[in-house]
Amino acid sequence: MTTVIERPLPLSTPPAALQALLTSDALSLCFQCRKCTSGCPVAAEADVKPHEVVRLVQLGATDELLASRFIWECTSCGTCEARCPQAVALPAAIDALRRLSRERKVAADPAVPAFNDIFLATVRQLGRAHELALMAAFKLRTRRFSQDFAKFPTMLRKGKFALLPKLSGDRAKRQRIFRRAREQRKAP
Length of the chain: 188
Residues with Cβ within 8 Å of 126's Cβ and at least 6 positions away in sequence, in order, are 165, 166, 167, 168
Q: Considering the complex, what minimum distance in angstroms separates the CB of residue 10 from other proteins?
A: 5
Range in contact with other proteins (rule: CB under 8 A) among 30-38, 48-56, 57-65, 120-128: 120-128
- AA identity, residue 184: Q
Residue closer to other proteins (CB basis): 19 or 59: 19
DSSP 8-state secondary structure symbol assigned to residue 80: H
- Which of 29, 35, 86, 115 is the binder for other proteins (CB under 8 A)? 115
| Contact of 171 with 127, CB cutoff 8 Å | yes
Contact flags string 60-89 toward other proteins, x per CB under 8 A: ------------xx-xxxxx-xx----x-x
Q: Which is nearer to other proteins, 59 or 181 (CB)?
A: 181
Indicate the burial class of 42 (C-beta count within 10 angstroms; 0-12, 13-18, 19 or more): middle
Number of residues that bind other proteins (CB under 8 A): 66
Whether the CB-CB separation of 88 and 26 falls below 8 Å is answered with yes
Residues 6+ away with beta carbon under 8 Å from 100: 15, 18, 19, 22, 62, 66
Instruction: List contacts with other proteins (CB under 8 A).
Output: 7, 10-15, 41-42, 72-73, 75-79, 81-82, 87, 89, 91, 95-96, 98-99, 102, 111-113, 115-117, 119-120, 123, 127-132, 135, 138, 147-148, 151, 154-155, 158-162, 166, 168-170, 173-174, 176-178, 180-181, 184-185
